[in-house]
Amino acid sequence: MFARGSKRRALVAWAAVPLVVGIGIGVLIGGDLTPAPVNPTPTAPVNEPPQLEYTDMPCDPGSSVLVLHSLEGAMPAADVKVLLDYESLWVRYRENANPVLRDQTALLSRRDDVCDAIVPNDPKFTQFVWIGPFQSDVAPSLCEALLKVTGKNCIPAQVVR
């Protein structure tokens, strides 16, 4: 009884030797056992800051924009990007409250690219997050539609005074 079991184990062991040798030779010839990726996707370096897209503010008479944030130049680009994305999502979320908000997105402008009537006296503010333009008579009601406090986190500003 014991002899028969040990013969089977010996037979299985000897049968496995060519299999192991074949795999070893295959690895030496063909490389490692992991398959190559079919469609590798390039990934951006993790530490690279996002590129911000700046827009000139339109300064047509009779129009207004909603200034949502006045930013200092020391704010990191990644934080500015998060703020833009958040405000754009919030506008889309609240667009049913006022049809004028449809298809609006938060935009970013440099201090030199905003209307003269909007530039604050304090030079520390170098970037502005805003939506618009809107007709000046409609702009104040849009702050309410966005559930923002007029004059605090939503400033309806006429682009020409």
Please give the pLDDT value at position 31.
59
Q: Is the per-residue pLDDT at 44 higher than 60?
A: no
Query: 71-123 pLDDT, tens per residue?
Result: 998 889 999 999 999 999 999 999 999 999 999 999 999 999 999 888 888 88
What sections of the chain are H helices per DSSP?
Answer: 2-30, 77-94, 139-145
- The structure's pTM equals 0.69
For 116-127, give the DSSP string: TTT--S-TTEEE
Residue 8: predicted pLDDT = 64
Check: CB of residue 111 under 8 Å from CB of residue 128: yes
- 22-36, 64-78, 100-114, 147-161: segment of lowest average pLDDT: 22-36
Burial class (CB in 10 A: 0-12, 13-18, 19+), 128: buried
- 160 — pLDDT class (breaks 50, 70, 90): confident
Q: Which amino acid is at 161?
A: R
